[in-house]
Structure 1
Amino acid sequence: MHLESIIQQVLDGTPVDKEQALFLVTVPLEPLCEGAEKIRRHFCGNVFDVCAIVNARSGRCPEDCKFCAQSVYYVTPVQEYPLLSEEKILEQARLCARAGIHRFSIVISGRSVESKELERICKIIRGIKKETELYVCASLGILEESQYRSLREAGLDRIHNNLETAPRFFPFVCSTHTYEEKVNAIRLAQRFGFSVCSGGIFGLGETMEDRIDMAFVLRELGILSVPLNLLDPISGTPYEKNPVLSEKEFRRIVAIFRYILPQAYLRLAGGRRLLSDKGAACFRSGANATISGNLLTTSGIPFVEDRRMLHELGFQL
């Protein structure tokens, strides 16, 4: 196997298989990343996708995801509060629109959303759509048909639901829901016409093969917006002492995902502030999207800084 032949294969429209993806783990980093950039430019051009999120309901989550500061199972410094008011979320959306960001996501903690909260969220979505031209996304957990129907009628554009990791490793990360539940929820959202944003988090203890396996699941599901999170170990969680992945390893993950998902928006998300260059090297290794501003329980990077960096890198916002 040769790197150049794999790059050309992807450019010609033939997907890589798992054997080829595992071979990419052994390739020197710089040629691998240069190839990923060639693929990114071919399929996506220089268009860059930026979104901002609001942590609309924080803490007291009944799920036991070991990386998450919002789980009720762990004692962490995270702030807890119920669903924010319509006005507070609308104001965040207005700020996002005025800053020039085109995508805004409402994120809540918890397994799902209750009927009264869903009604409020639908009202908020309608308000955002009325007052701005934002593309509205939501991360609301594992939902049912009637809930997806209500969100669709309210004007929601995209559903977010991270797979987090590979099927093999998922039981080591969470025991209160299953991988199959997540996959089924994604497929149900797609049946209601939603585009879906789904990715994972790296540095949990998973292998490189696990990461590759997750990428292939995402490809099978037809996911074209893929958040790539770098674990930011938070005090009080079971992963608080996990070492942060090296920047070179994270770049390799980003690049390999580009070979497997050539047409996707690979979105640097949680943990980007841990990178010494705030992600610039990854944006030269196949990534072409990010979350700007603060995240759920950790601080992020102001959009004004991101915009300056991305323009310097030659991206179009």
Structure 2
Amino acid sequence: MKKYIEQIKEKILQGGAITFEEALELMEIDEMDEDALAHFYSAANEIRKKYAGNKVDLCTIMNAKSGKCSEDCKYCAQSVHYTTGVDEYDLLNYDKVLERAMEMEKEGAHRFSLVTSGRGVDGEDFEKLLEIYSRLKQDTDLKICASHGIISYEQAMRLKDAGVSMYHHNVETSSTYYEEICTTHSYQDRIDTIQNVQKAGMELCCGGIIGMGESVEDRVKMAFEIKELGVKSIPVNILNPIKGTPLEDTETMMPVEALKTMALYRFVIPDCYIRYAGGRMLLGDLQEVGFRAGVNAALVGNYLTTIGSKIEDDIRIIRCEGLEV
């Protein structure tokens, strides 16, 4: 297997691309074969060094509107279809947002994003968000990101004009597995939003969640579908099963399987940011391994409905691995 890994790595370093079949074979590396795994991670790191450099991007999110979401995404604590005990509140005011943004900036985050629950956002809430983003651009030096579900091209343009440089909208899983995860909007609805964002000239952050019962083939297919979309910032979430959701009894993904997936994504999309995102606390002490297996970005601080890591701890790990913040 080490020889096979080396062949694929060299092909990519020389400007070639991995095939779907080759990617599937790499995912077959036995989790007990520590030597092959170490070689796989090291190869992913070499690819990262050549195509993405040595700098790590840190972003943070704020749950600006929580709960009462009309959609039935099976992993989500904020869906009105499930009883999870999640906090519910309307759109936060600017003072609370600014306080959080300045705190994150002081601690070392590069990007700051507001996230709102719901299929999308419009009307008075959308106008309030535009004002918030315009003021954040004036009051902080952070790069401003946004995550507000399904949006039109016109909304994308207005967000860009307000100072938003990147929009986050995951595909969540492969196109073939999507209907197993959500039925209230389609995979194509997500693609339409992604294309609206790209047409408006904003950067796109687009990844998904692994460990939702999908097959390895689905996991690999998601990587290739994201590559076809031209995405350069890819958050990889690991399902943290939440009580009250349909996926509450899903067996938690083994850390090695998650790390293999992240390394594989580096093989598939060499020049992107592979971003640690929700659920990575499940990796425990193995989180640092990701930073020498192709990962070069991280969602830091607390997440939407779960607790994340401290920024200072992430910065320490990143620097210990010889990477730059």
TM-score past 0.5 threshold: yes
Alignment of 1:171-186 (within 5 A): 171-186=179-194
Alignment of 1:275-294 (within 5 A): 275-277=283-285, 279-294=287-302
Alignment of 1:27-106 (within 5 A): 27=29, 28-106=36-114
Query: Normalization by structure 1: what TM-score?
Result: 0.98
5+ residue gaps, structure 1, are none
Match of 2:28 in 1: 26
Secondary structure in structure 1 of the residue aligned to 2:291: helix
Secondary structure in structure 2 of the residue aligned to 1:107: strand
Aligned counterparts of 2:317 and 2:101: Cα–Cα separation in 1:
23
Task: Name which of 298, 302, 307 aligns with 2:306.
Answer: 298
Aligned counterparts of 2:80 and 2:172: Cα–Cα separation in 1:
19
Contact 1:171–1:178, Cα closer than 8 Å, also in 2: yes
* 1:8 aligned onto 2:5: no
What count of residue pairs does the alignment treat as equivalent?
317
Aligned counterparts of 1:63 and 1:278: Cα–Cα separation in 2:
34
Alignment of 1:152-231 (within 5 A): 152-231=160-239
* 1:115 aligned onto 2:123: yes
Shift of 1:186: 0.2
Match of 1:252 in 2: 260
2:220 corresponds to which letter in structure 1?
I
Aligned counterparts of 1:29 and 1:262: Cα–Cα separation in 2:
18
Contact 1:272–1:278, Cα closer than 8 Å, also in 2: no
* 1:146 aligned onto 2:154: yes
1:54 corresponds to which letter in structure 2?
M
1:77 corresponds to which letter in structure 2?
G
Match of 1:17 in 2: 19
Secondary structure in structure 1 of the residue aligned to 2:68: coil
Query: Normalization by structure 2: what TM-score?
Result: 0.95
Secondary structure in structure 1 of the residue aligned to 2:284: coil
1:272 corresponds to which letter in structure 2?
R
Runs of 4+ in structure 1 deviating by more than 4 angstroms, as ranges, are: none
Contact 2:255–2:286, Cα closer than 8 Å, also in 1: no
Match of 2:33 in 1: none
Match of 2:317 in 1: 309
Shift of 1:86: 1.0
1:65 corresponds to which letter in structure 2?
C
